[in-house]
C-alpha cells in the first residue's frame, strides 16, 4: 500500500553546502540544500535561492559565488548560516569561518570546508518564487590530505571529508553511513 502525500520535498538525502558571495573584505554565507550538477561540459551546477534572501540580491550583483561542502565538524556554523541573514549579520565574523581568496573570482572560499567550487554566474532564472542560479565551475579546491592517491585526483576519502547530510522532511542533519556497493558495477550481475 502507498500513502499519497501531495507535493513534498522528500528527496533523500540533500547535501548541505555553504554558498559564499562577495569579496575578501565583505562576504556573506548562506546554507543551501537545493543544489544539483546540471551539465558536464561546460561543468555547471544550479542552486535554488529564495527571492527574499540577501544572497539572491548579492549573487545578481557580484555575478559569482562559491560552493563549499559543509562537514559534520562545522554543523553548528552551517546551521547558523541558514537561520540568520547577511542583511543584518556578519556571518563570517560570528561563525569564525575563514575566508580564503579564490583563484578566478571575487567571492572567497571557506577554509574549513574540504571541497570548494569557484562558480561564475552564467544564468539566473526565476522558478516560482525562487531564484535559480546556474554557475559554471571554474576551479575546484580540495584539502590535499583528503586525496587518497596523489595520482588519481578523484580519489577523495569520503570518511575524511565527513559531509553533513540534511533530511528535509524531518529537518535533521545526519552523517554518512557505510559503503553499500560499487556504482556502475553492482548492477552488472543483472545484465544477462
Ligand atoms: C539545512 C538548511 C538548508 C537550507 N537550504 C536552502 C536552500 O536550498 N535554498 C534557500 O533559499 N534557502 C535555504 N535555507 C535557508 C537559508 O539558508 C536562510 O533563509 C538564510 O537565512 C538566508 O540567508 P541570507 O539572507 O544571508 O541569504 C536552508 C537553511 C538550512 C538550515
pLDDT in tens, 60-110: 999 999 999 999 999 999 999 999 999 999 999 999 999 999 999 999 999
Query: Ligand 1 center to residue 1 CA distance, Å?
Result: 35
Report the DSSP beta bridge partners of residue 118.
66, 139
Q: How confident is the model at residue 119 (pLDDT cuts 50, 70, 90)?
A: very high
Q: Collapse the DSSP code of 167 into the 3-class scheme (helix H, G, I; strand E, B; otherwise coil) and give the result.
A: strand
Kindly state if the Cβ of 32 falls inside 6 Å of ligand 1.
yes
What the chain holds in terms of domains, given with CATH numbers, is 14-190 (2.30.110.10)
CA-34 nearest atom, ligand 1: 8
Kindly state if the Cβ of 55 falls inside 6 Å of ligand 1.
yes
The pLDDT score that the predictor gives to residue 28 is 98
With a cut of 80, say whether residue 153 has pLDDT above it. Answer: no
With a cut of 90, say whether residue 56 has pLDDT above it. Answer: yes
Atom 23 (ligand 1) nearest CA: 85
Amino acid at each position: 500500500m502507498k500513502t499519497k502525500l501531495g507535493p513534498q520535498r522528500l528527496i533523500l538525502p540533500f547535501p548541505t553546502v555553504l554558498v559564499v558571495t562577495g569579496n575578501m573584505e565583505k562576504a556573506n554565507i548562506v546554507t543551501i540544500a537545493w543544489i544539483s550538477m546540471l551539465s558536464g561540459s561546460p561543468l555547471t551546477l544550479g542552486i535554488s535561492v529564495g527571492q527574499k534572501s540577501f544572497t539572491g540580491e548579492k549573487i545578481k550583483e557580484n555575478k559569482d559565488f562559491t560552493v563549499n561542502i559543509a562537514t559534520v565538524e562545522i554543523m553548528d556554523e552551517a546551521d547558523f548560516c541558514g537561520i540568520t541573514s547577511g542583511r543584518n549579520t556578519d556571518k563570517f565574523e560570528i561563525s569564525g569561518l575563514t575566508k580564503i581568496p579564490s583563484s578566478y573570482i571575487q567571492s572567497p572560499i571557506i577554509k574549513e570546508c574540504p571541497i570548494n567550487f569557484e562558480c561564475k554566474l552564467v544564468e539566473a532564472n526565476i522558478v516560482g518564487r525562487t531564484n535559480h542560479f546556474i554557475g559554471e565551475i571554474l576551479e575546484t579546491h580540495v584539502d590535499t590530505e583528503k586525496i587518497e592517491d596523489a595520482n588519481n585526483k578523484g580519489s577523495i576519502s569520503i570518511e575524511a571529508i565527513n559531509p553533513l547530510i540534511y533530511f528535509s522532511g524531518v529537518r535533521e542533519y545526519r552523517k554518512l553511513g557505510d559503503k553499500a556497493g560499487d556504482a556502475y558495477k553492482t548492477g552488472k550481475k543483472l545484465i544477462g
